A and B are shown apart, each in its own frame.
Chain A
Amino acid sequence: MTLVEVKNLGKSYNAQTRVLKDVSFEVEAGEFVSIIGLSGAGKSTLLRCINRMVEIDEGNVIFDGLDVGSLNKQELRKMRTNIGMIFQHYNLVPRLSVIENVLHGRLGYKTTLQGVFNRFTELEKEHAFFLLEKLGIADHAYKRCDQLSGGQQQRVGIARSLIQEPKLVLCDEPIASLDPNSSEIIMDYLKSITKELNIACIVNLHQVEIACSYSDRIIGLSKGNVVFDGPSFMLTSAHTDEIYGTKTVETRKLVTV
């Protein structure tokens, strides 16, 4: 079953630079897809077009049968509850407790006042603890988030997205600020989520090796174009050269883009 369908997506922030050019692909439910490319290749923008954190300029994104670009505010909110998001810098509220941060994932299901006054049900709180335990950080539940290590904070971020009970999780460079050890833990969790809960996962990465070893499928992005789309094992060094411009002359050009 197709969960996300990106059709001829284009995006530009200003007249000169087009960040995304005619991007098309589909993602199945429960699929683990990595998007690789240099910084500035348009990975983050692509991800944010899927849940319309940035407006879509050209083409369509269809999520779960809904045309994301044409939803009104209310419908967009409702759609976003089905999409979890994980960030490079975790994007937690540093002064609040871990459990509060996790419960933020439920806000989309609440009315404004319920949310403002912390009207979370006991079931939701139990669920939050269940997730924290599963991610191995239940004993930090009442700590402030800024007292946790990077890897632990990212696990809070994962818990926050999972409590939404999403069909899709978008991960924007989830391990770029982490050491190799924590990175592995985080990637393992992401992988097991897709397997166990049948949640599709789209991950922006810039490390090819990690993308290859974890994902079912890789999409290579270069200067806003899809230059590779296929199963991980089909990615050859010729492709990575194209994505990363490893040819010496090319490197310069790409870095300055």
Chain B
Amino acid sequence: MNEKAMRSQRKWQTIIWVAIILVFTYLASDITNFNIIHGIATLPNAITWIFSNLTITSETLERLPKILEKLAETILMSIAATTTATIFSLFLGLMGSKTTGTSSVLGVFARFIASVARNIPVVAWALILLLSFGQNSMTGYLALFVGSLGFLTRAFIETIDEASHSAVEALRATGSTYFQIVFKAVIPQCLPQMISWILFMIETNIRSATLVGILTGTGIGYSFDLYYKTLNYSAVALVTFVIVISVIIIELMSNRIRKVIL
């Protein structure tokens, strides 16, 4: 009897959940003018269009060196933004973690900075910075830097909190100073996880860099936008292809590194 009651309760719970989701889906489709039937109906056309227009021709291949140069700019920008943000995040992470934090005021400060930097989307930072920094790599770099700072600080705080506290205690008992404890007990334990986060951030940043590039007119995003607006779809295909290849290569490389160090 009891089991039956529980079952019917679960059944009702499921039904309510499904109903809520359906209502939200309806509301969302209504407000955004999204028509699922229309969406599905256009899908075959869209795919046909993609296959017939997004083909790389030999004449677009001539643009490859120029595109690769832009790609290099984007990748370097992503890496530079990540590594420089890492340095600041490391200190914010040490301040924000319970294990290594020295004062609660600094801890709250670190968490606040991280939260604001992370939750304001990268596009917003890009648009704000664009106004004064202009169309150059610095704008994209700074936008990615702020986003990375927020994300990495949170990741580092979690990593340091998760690391075992026992070695910290042991070093404290030997009379070590604060920075000795940080560099000899905390960092060695957290380093593999931190490197893993840094690699993840680089992967994410390369994708975001394309987006930021479209807005700020730099790097591979700019190339894409240019060809897209001039309806040069063959070049659009080439740019997309180049991005895909580089993202996959970087992912494979970081997975290899992760496999060894974690």
> A: which residues have CB within 8 A of B?
51, 53, 76-81, 83-85, 87, 89-96, 104-112, 115-116, 157, 160-161, 164, 170
Contact = CB atoms under 8 A, between A and B. Distances in A.
Contact of A93 (B174, B178, B189, B192): B189
B262 to A, nearest CB: 11
Contact of A115 (B167, B173, B183, B192): B183
A95 B174 contact: no
Given A93-B167, A95-B192, A80 B173 contact: yes
Interface string B54-86: 000000000000000000000000000000000
Given A51-B173, A160-B174, A110 B180 contact: yes
A95 B188 contact: yes
Contacts of B179: 112, 115-116
A161 B172 CA distance: 12
Interface string B186-205: 00110110000000000000
Nearest to A95: B188
B184 interface: yes
Interface residues of B, number: 22
A80 B169 contact: no
B44 interface: no
Given A93-B184, A95-B189, A108 B166 contact: no
Contacts of B169: 53, 87, 91
Contacts of B191: 95
B156 to A, nearest CB: 17
Given A110-B180, A112-B179, A112-B180, A93 B185 contact: yes
A225 B26 CA distance: 69
A170 B178 CA distance: 22
Given A51-B173, A108-B175, A116 B167 contact: no
Given A92-B170, A104-B184, A78 B175 contact: yes
Contacts of A164: 174-175
B148 to A, nearest CB: 25
Nearest to B176: A107
Nearest to A111: B177
Contacts of A161: 174
Given A80-B175, A108-B175, A112-B179, 9 more contacts: A85-B173, A92-B167, A92-B170, A96-B188, A107-B171, A107-B176, A116-B179, A157-B170, A164-B174
Q: Which of B164, B175, B189 has the most CB of A within 10 A?
A: B175
A91 B166 contact: yes
A54 to B, nearest CB: 11
Contacts of A112: 177-180
A115 B181 CA distance: 9
A189 to B, nearest CB: 18
Given A104-B176, A108-B176, A85 B171 contact: no
A93 B189 CA distance: 7
Given A93-B184, A116-B183, A107 B175 contact: yes
A76 B178 CA distance: 13
Contacts of A79: 175
A96 B190 CA distance: 12
B184 A115 contact: yes
A87 B180 CA distance: 20
Contacts of B180: 107, 110, 112, 115-116
Nearest to A78: B175
Contacts of B188: 93, 95-96
B189 A105 contact: no
13 contacts: A53-B173, A81-B175, A91-B166, A91-B169, A92-B167, A94-B167, A95-B192, A104-B170, A107-B171, A112-B177, A112-B178, A115-B176, A170-B173
Nearest to B183: A116
Contacts of A95: 188-189, 191-192
Contacts of B171: 104, 107
B174 A104 contact: yes
A85 B167 contact: no
Contact of B174 (A85, A92, A111): A85
A245 B202 CA distance: 60
Contacts of A104: 170-171, 174, 176, 184-185
Shortest Cβ-Cβ A-B pairs, 4 listed? A108-B175, A80-B175, A91-B170, A115-B180
Contacts of B172: 53, 80
A94 B173 contact: no
Nearest to B261: A95
Contact of B167 (A84, A91, A111): A91
